[in-house]
Structure 1
Amino acid sequence: MKKAIRNTIIVLLSLLVLAGCGKKAEETNNEDVELTVWVHPYVGAEKKEAIEAVYAKMTEEFKKDNPNAKITFEEIPWADRETKITTALAAKEGPDVFYLIPDQISQFAEKGLLADLNEHITKDDLNGFTETSVSAVTYKDKLYGLPILRESQTLFYNKAVLEDIGGDVNNLPTTWDEFNELGKKAVAKGYYARTYEGGNTLNTSLYPLVWQAGGDIVNDKNEISINNEKSVKAFEQINEWYKDGLIAKDSITSDDQGSMFLEGKILATWSANNMINLAKENDVEVLIGSPLKQEVEVTYGTTGAFVVASTSTNQAKAAEFVKVMTNEDNMREFNTVTGHIPAREAAMDILKDNPAMLQMAELTKIAKPGVINSEARVFMPDVQAAVQAMLEGKLTPQQAADKAAEDIQSYLK
């Protein structure tokens, strides 16, 4: 009898626990949730409505399980975005969710501004993402974001210019030496060999060349290698291009030589996926080449991710919304509109009829996401100034690399 009574009590207690869980789940689903998401102008004005429709779809999907949720998307400019975000978060007035790339993630993480998503994201939630994209948003073993897009960069050749200098459209250069040989032919015919935007981010100018030479800049352990024997080869190569006229005289400070390429003044341009559409819009036939190598074939390619602010008062729901934003269907929609490469393998099917974009997607496998160090964005202007001083003739390549190393050291903790 006692055993029967005890079993009855256990059953009743179990039912009460289940009922409590159901009530809790119901309360959670119907709670008032307000999230602010900061995004950027990923598209031009002509696609404004299309991208807003994507955001609306994300919100609608989230509200199926969170009917009382209010999601507000706010667009902020690309320019000076880091300062705007950090200032807002410091005042605890910033967004719950916002967009970062890997070298920014390390910086924001070290300042304690990002939520560790390992507390809200399971391994199963990461199924389907490419390994390189997840790695790019992981810093010191902590997951700080979920990837939404990828990008890769390489050399695009103006086919008309290439044919004019006697180049082989079916045999594009794969090494520095091969490119230099072709580049000299371009200069002899009155063209520049390639773009080099010394006033632009080093991710698209110096750094890929350093990696291709087998060198590096600095790692997350603060070990500096930008002035070692291999890395200096990149400085020497840039200096040689400038002296020999393979790159334009304004390469010291220019931040956009793409127009010169599209006008037929330059043989090749270092660019990302967006060059495919730009060339079409300007009726320029381009060929996608290798990013080249001295010792290693490697390129720069960012991974864009949505992260959760550590100042958010509802980190769990913010993380849940990030999962919705980056799920398979929404990733397809977002990248179809923005023209980027999806960070999920299954979503890559949007590129199946686009051989050029598939070629760029293949390059993400050899793409580095930037310099992963918390001070990478901070010391970049100083390193850039050292390269500019070299091109102005004030420093030798080795001196420029040593100056860059000295400046980096001054910022490291």
Structure 2
Amino acid sequence: MKWSKNSGLVSIAALALSFSAMSAAAEPVTIRVSYSPASLKTLYETVAERFMDMYPEIEIELEAPATSYDELVQQTIMQSIVGQMPDISHQGLNQIRTLADRGLAVPLNDLFNNDPKWDEIGVPEGTMSYAAFGGETYGLPFAISVPVLYYNVDLIREVGGDPENLPTTWDDVFNLSRKIDAISPTVSGHYLEYTNNSWSFQTFLASFGGRMMSPDESQIEFNGNAGLRTLELLQNSVGHGQPALERDQARQAFGAGTLGILYTASSSLAGFERTASGKFEVKVGQFPVSSAAVSLPAAGNGIVMLTREPRKQEAAWQYMRFAIGEIGQQIMVETTGYTPVNVRALANPDGLGGFYNENPNYAVATESIESMTGWYSFPGENNSRIIRIIENYTHDVVSGTREPASALADMTEEVAKLLPE
């Protein structure tokens, strides 16, 4: 079989023949899959088990989970150096470009363009663009997170708020937060997450109409008015009921019922509902934006093919199609708070359609799907370093050691040095 120099894929016909021969001989193929974080272990185990039930000739071997998307991409790069890469990896949407630029991720256009049943899969073209760079698609979006606000309904009612009319602006959020913060010294008003692989910074930036770089990526654009408003909002947040906590501490406080409002990803919903069960009611609200035309970045992960072996590529494609198909997406939603990428699954009244009708908190995130955009990844090999720089300066502003304007200027200068010339 001949390899395609451009794609790293054998022809679809050759793959089909290879897979047919493999099935006829009943020789199992083992596919190694990596993912992050450990809290999603049940999700990936369940997807793997259901897949192997349907495809007994393919065995899925899950690697030990990485602690974060950033660690996962660095781990994958190291594995490539020693020839130990997994066959498939569920990479953060903002890290897939790093693998593509290094020539590690296999482009998928030939696969889905020649798949006779691809049009029936149910993933919109706009969603597919989340993992597309330079005209090639390098990953299939699997699970996305939408920015949302979580509310402790009991605390809202205690201060005379109306859970049926949640805040729609940051001024309204802060006004409600101050009332909750005044309940007692052990209760805090709100917490806006600002460290999340720079997703939070990108989300606030986009909500004010900004973007990270120009469309042709020739210049930085996060240093404009939207970037300044982002840092000013985070600075002001501290004076309106935000406690001096780290991200995980704030999540624990919300789960314990001592934090009134929390901005984070929709994927945390299942965990918060489990933690709050029997103690207080959780309600999900929309993330405030400056305009209805705003597109916010979707967090989450996409499935990347790394193997270059023909037989494994066909088996990997079967797994990838299953994971983003109706069964895989239903497992994903019911196991986590992630938002599905499959619109056919959403429309199925006997599947996710019925689930969302019965679980309105989960449905809030789906209302934003059409307006979402990709989680930006910087060009070149320094994406992870740039993410850390942005988070460090954001932390300085929130902690009060830097003013927004000077932090933004210095952050811009440091990021510029790490971009390709």
Q: TM-score, normalised by structure 2?
A: 0.80
Distance of 2:160 and 2:101 partners within structure 1: 52
- Aligned 8 A contact 1:107 1:376 in 2: yes
Within the candidate set 227, 232, 243, 1:231 is matched to 227
Gaps of 5+ in 2: 1-15
- CA 1:267 to 1:368, structure 2 compared with 1: closer, same or farther past 3 Å? farther
Give the corresponding residue for 2:192.
196
Gaps of 5+ in 1: 1-21
Per-residue deviation, 1:235? 0.8
> What do residues 293-318 of structure 1 show as CA deviations (whole Å, max 9, x unaligned)?
23455544324221111655643443
Q: Which deviates the most, 296-305 or 207-216? A: 296-305
Distance of 2:309 and 2:24 partners within structure 1: 19
Distance of 1:212 and 1:166 partners within structure 2: 28
Give the corresponding residue for 2:207.
212
- CA 1:200 to 1:115, structure 2 compared with 1: closer, same or farther past 3 Å? closer
Per-residue deviation, 1:400? 0.9
Q: Is 1:409 the equivalent of 2:402? A: no
Distance of 1:337 and 1:238 partners within structure 2: 32
SS in 2 for 1:195: strand
Distance of 1:333 and 1:247 partners within structure 2: 35
1:330 maps to a residue whose letter is G
Distance of 2:65 and 2:119 partners within structure 1: 28
SS in 2 for 1:340: coil
State the percentage of identical aligned residues: 18
What's the RMSD between the two structures over aligned residues?
3.1
> What do residues 168-193 of structure 1 show as CA deviations (whole Å, max 9, x unaligned)?
22221112232233333334445533
- Aligned 8 A contact 1:151 1:341 in 2: yes
2:93 maps to a residue whose letter is P
Per-residue deviation, 1:386? 1.4
Give the corresponding residue for 1:75.
64
Give the corresponding residue for 1:246.
241
- Aligned 8 A contact 1:42 1:338 in 2: no
Distance of 1:254 and 1:24 partners within structure 2: 48
Distance of 2:295 and 2:182 partners within structure 1: 29
> What do residues 244-297 of structure 1 show as CA deviations (whole Å, max 9, x unaligned)?
2421123xx544301222333322101324335423432221222220123455
Give the corresponding residue for 2:285.
289
SS in 2 for 1:256: helix
- CA 1:390 to 1:321, structure 2 compared with 1: closer, same or farther past 3 Å? closer
Within the candidate set 105, 124, 145, 2:139 is matched to 145
Distance of 1:134 and 1:306 partners within structure 2: 11
Give the corresponding residue for 1:332.
330
Q: Is 1:117 the equivalent of 2:108? A: yes
Distance of 1:299 and 1:73 partners within structure 2: 32
- Aligned 8 A contact 1:35 1:70 in 2: yes
Give the corresponding residue for 2:6.
none
Per-residue deviation, 1:28? 5.6
2:258 maps to a residue whose letter is K
Q: Which deviates the most, 307-316 or 349-358? A: 307-316
Distance of 2:323 and 2:181 partners within structure 1: 48
Give the corresponding residue for 2:8.
none
Per-residue deviation, 1:121? 1.8
- CA 1:158 to 1:299, structure 2 compared with 1: closer, same or farther past 3 Å? farther
Q: TM-score, normalised by structure 1?
A: 0.81
- Aligned 8 A contact 2:295 2:373 in 1: yes
1:228 maps to a residue whose letter is G
Q: Which deviates the most, 329-338 or 96-105? A: 329-338
- CA 1:346 to 1:99, structure 2 compared with 1: closer, same or farther past 3 Å? same
Per-residue deviation, 1:30? 4.0
- Aligned 8 A contact 1:154 1:299 in 2: no
> What do residues 22-69 of structure 1 show as CA deviations (whole Å, max 9, x unaligned)?
988853644654432224456567xx4x85353133134334xxx4x5
Within the candidate set 404, 407, 413, 1:400 is matched to 407
